């Protein structure tokens, strides 16, 4: 049989048909309560430590089911984002970083002008043939080109090392991103098994 709670006044006063008191800010009203007797009969058992320990898995699974039914659409959307849009953003970020490193070290320009004289330093060849002036200018220009080649090669190697390091960083981040949901689910299942045990 259904029981009723009657409320009056500003805060509300519950009748003695129910062990609970509800505070309402409205005027006189009536709240229909079902299964009050069942709740009252099971109150002592619910407060028993042995009963709580015995009924915990059942109550937890029921609560988990109710929560899961609400979380399933959100989890489905999260996994879709995690394995599609997020990976696309991660790949795009890596290519942006690689492009920035290539521009920072000017790899394209250094490769094209790898044999150019260092800072365009050099000697002009004489207009009229002179054995001494010609070989003097040749030696200076050759040395400047060798210096430019060495410095450009050093910068190119540093840029390539930075790009390779960014590639390894990207691969590690991608692998971690792919296995992260599996690790979270595995830890959740492990924790649940420990709770039940």
> Cα–chain-centroid distance for residue 49?
41
> What is d(CA 11, CA 28) in angstroms, rounded to the nearest whole number?
10
Percent over 70 (pLDDT), the chain: 63
Q: How many domains does the chain have?
A: 2
Q: Which two tokens stand for residue 7?
A: 């409320």
What range does the domain containing 185 cover?
Answer: 50-196
The answer to whether the predicted template modeling score (pTM) of the entire model surpasses 0.75 is no
86 and 164 assigned to the same domain: yes
12 and 92 assigned to the same domain: no
Percent over 90 (pLDDT), the chain: 35
Tell whether the model's pLDDT for residue 38 goes beyond 60.
no
DSSP one-letter string for 39-104: HHHTHHHHT-HHHHHHHHHHHHHHHHHHHHHHHHHHHHHHHHIIIIIHHHHHHHHHHHHHHHHHHH
- 110's enclosing H/E stretch is helix 107-112
Minimum mean pLDDT range among 8-12, 43-47, 98-102, 175-179: 8-12
DSSP state of 34: -
32 and 127 assigned to the same domain: no
pLDDT, mean of residues 159-188: 94
CB neighbours of 160 closer than 8 A, spacing ≥ 6?
A: 107
pLDDT, mean of residues 121-144: 79
62 and 142 assigned to the same domain: yes
């Amino acid at each position: 049989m259904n029981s009723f709670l009657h409320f009056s006044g500003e805060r509300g006063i519950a009748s003695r048909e129910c062990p609970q008191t509800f505070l309402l800010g409205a005027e006189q009203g009536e709240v229909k309560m079902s299964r009050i007797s069942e709740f009252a009969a099971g109150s002592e058992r619910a407060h028993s430590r042995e009963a709580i320990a015995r009924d915990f898995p059942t109550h937890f699974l029921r609560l988990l089911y109710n929560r899961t039914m609400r979380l399933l659409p959100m989890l489905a959307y999260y996994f879709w984002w995690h394995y599609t849009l997020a990976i696309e953003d991660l790949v795009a970020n890596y290519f942006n970083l690689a492009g920035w490193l290539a521009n920072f070290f000017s790899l394209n320009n250094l490769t094209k002008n790898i044999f150019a004289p260092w800072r365009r330093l050099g000697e002009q060849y004489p207009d009229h043939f002179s054995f001494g002036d010609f070989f003097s200018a040749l030696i200076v220009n050759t040395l400047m080109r060798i210096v430019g080649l060495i410095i450009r090669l050093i910068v190119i190697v540093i840029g390539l090392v930075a790009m390779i390091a960014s590639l390894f960083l990207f691969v590690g981040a991608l692998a971690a991103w792919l296995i992260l949901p599996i690790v979270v689910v595995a830890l959740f299942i492990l924790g649940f098994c420990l709770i039940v045990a």
